[in-house]
Amino acid sequence: EAGVAQSPRYKIIEKRQSVAFWCNPISGHATLYWYQQILGQGPKLLIQFQNNGVVDDSQLPKDRFSAERLKGVDSTLKIQPAKLEDSAVYLCASSFGTGGRTEAFFGQGTRLTVV
């Protein structure tokens, strides 16, 4: 079974530039999560999708971050414009059942450095 795919693995951009991350969840998984993990901290939930609907985006900085999950499969997370404090690893995960009720499978993450 293929795992959660994320790209790119690494990205370096200057502040005020824009960047996009892509995630392909495991086939058949209804729930998709985007987390931000700053070095030395636990993952922080940015947005959670159930199929193509948003379940929770309470911690997504909506003035600069946006995310979509077209057709309930792939998802993209965008930052525009980036700030220095956005430097982090962005993790995508998916789960088969309703979010939070079953185990989540994680991708390798995208390490973003904003300079």
Binding site for other proteins (CB under 8 A): 4, 33, 35, 41-45, 48, 50, 55-56, 91, 93, 95, 98-109
Q: Nearer Cβ to other proteins, position 52 or 81?
A: 52
The minimum distance between CB 102 and other proteins, in angstroms, equals: 7
Between 33 and 65, CB nearer to other proteins: 33
Q: How far is the CB of 109 from other proteins (least distance, A)?
A: 6
Query: Would you state the torsion angle of the CA atoms of residues 69, 12, 64, 76, taken in this order, to the nearest 10 degrees?
Result: 0
Closest residue by Cα to residue 32 from 72, 2, 66: 72
Nearer to other proteins by C-beta: 71 or 101?
101
User: Least CB distance from residue 29 to other proteins, whole Å?
Assistant: 13
Task: Determine the Cα–Cα distance for residues 28 and 54; give it in Å rounded to an integer.
Answer: 17
Task: Write out the two tokens for 85.
Answer: 């404090």
Calculate the dihedral angle through the C-alpha atoms of 107, 113, 114, 115, rounding to the nearest 10 degrees.
-170
